[in-house]
């Protein structure tokens, strides 16, 4: 079983929003050359609660999978791009994630390897999908229903819409008290259960992925 250190960083910008926006493309070349970085995705975020057609141009995310913790530390302490992420953002939130369940693929890849649960941790969930172009309008018509469902869910601590490409490649990240809260929301919350049913019936997704993690730590800096 390969060792992995998984992180999801959110960076909030005030005076460097244009620079942050350009990194959605410009960061790829330097990131591809970073030692110990197994997998990464530069991600935009949705406005407001997150599930929105309107992007949040002040907040961007970096999902990263590392060989070792030291590789991640070296990148943010010594690499020019890693330093810029922190120096140019006003606020940062880092989630250290321990994969415990994964299903599906991300652009044909399976970046996370499920590990043995450690227990007694909050649970993070990343869902990701590539939408069928012929189903875009139908899917986005139901987004307000999904947003309202998770906003009112018991046991949810945080949720945010994230994505690689607007409208087409969408993902969500949420943090829950425990697995029971997720199960109740997924299968007993009527609005969400209805969305799940329509997802299968209407074949909204060309590719999808569901990942569950234990949240080892959440670090806020500014």
- Whole-number pLDDT of residue 16: 97
pLDDT at 207: 78
29/26 Cα distance (integer angstroms): 7
Report pLDDT digits (tens) over 3-36.
Answer: 899 999 999 999 999 999 999 999 999 999 999 9
What whole-number distance in Å separates Cα of residue 64 and Cα of residue 124? 15
CA dist 129 and 138 (Å) reads 15
CATH code, domain carrying 45: 3.30.70.100
pLDDT one-digit tens code per residue, 42-84: 999 988 665 667 789 999 999 999 999 999 999 999 999 999 9
Model pTM greater than 0.85?
A: yes
Q: How many domains, the chain?
A: 1
- From the number of C-beta atoms within 10 Å of its C-beta (0-12, 13-18, 19+), residue 64 rates as buried
Instruction: Look at residue 152 in the predicted model and tell me its pLDDT.
Output: 75
Residue 78, domain extent: 5-221
pLDDT at position 130, please? 74
Tens digits of per-residue pLDDT, 108-165? 889 999 999 998 899 999 988 776 666 655 665 656 666 666 777 889 999 998 988 7
**Integer-rounded Cα radius of gyration of the chain:** 17
């Amino acid at each position: 079983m390969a060792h992995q250190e998984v992180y999801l960083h959110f960076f909030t910008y005030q005076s460097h929003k244009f620079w942050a926006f350009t990194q959605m493309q410009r960061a790829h070349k330097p990131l591809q050359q970073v030692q110990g970085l197994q997998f990464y995705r530069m991600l935009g975020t949705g406005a407001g609660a997150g599930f929105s057609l309107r992007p949040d141009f002040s907040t961007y995310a970096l999902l990263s999978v590392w060989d070792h913790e030291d590789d991640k530390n070296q990148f943010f302490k010594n690499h020019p791009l890693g330093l810029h992420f922190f120096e140019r953002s006003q606020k940062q939130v880092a989630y250290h994630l321990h994969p415990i369940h994964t299903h599906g693929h991300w652009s044909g890849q399976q970046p996370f390897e499920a590990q043995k649960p450690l227990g007694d941790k909050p649970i993070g969930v990343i869902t990701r999908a590539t939408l069928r172009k012929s189903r875009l309008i139908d899917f986005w018509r139901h987004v307000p229903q999904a947003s309202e469902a998770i906003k009112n869910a018991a046991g949810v601590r945080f949720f945010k819409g994230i994505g690689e490409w607007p409208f087409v490649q969408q993902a969500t990240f949420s943090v829950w008290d425990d697995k029971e809260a997720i199960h109740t929301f997924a299968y007993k919350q009527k609005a969400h259960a209805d969305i799940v049913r329509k997802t299968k019936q209407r074949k909204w997704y060309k590719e999808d992925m569901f990942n569950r993690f234990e949240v080892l730590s959440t670090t806020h800096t500014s």
